[in-house]
Amino acid sequence: MKKRNKFKHSLYLLIALAMLLYALPQLSFQNGPSWVLGFGIVWCVFAFLIIAAHLHFIIGVDEEKQKRLEAVRKHKLEQWQGKWNEETRMSQRL
């Protein structure tokens, strides 16, 4: 499943790069500041953020953090199951 996710993120990264490469030459700085130029710059900033997010996932910077979070989730689930079992035993005694 991880390979599929990495493939999906790689595909989205390539699409975002293609969109950015298409849009950058369309920006015109000759007319001075305008709403169109402002929109283009903001759009490019968002495209760079999307590219950075996908690269972050593909490179796997957060793999250690994910492992720690999964360990915490397992521990919480075990605690919840223990409480559930204890409540079930208590209710059966009544």
Q: For 20-28, which contacts have Cβ atoms below 8 Å and span 24 or more sequence positions?
A: 20/44, 20/47, 20/48, 20/51, 23/47
**Cα–Cα distance, 36 to 27 (Å, whole number):** 8
Could you state, in chain order, the average pLDDT of each consecutive group of 10 residues for the chain (94 residues)?
78 93 82 83 92 88 79 91 83 74
* CB atoms inside a 10 Å sphere around CB 54: 21
pTM, entire model: 0.59
How crowded is the C-beta side of 56, counted as CA atoms within 13 Å?
A: 8
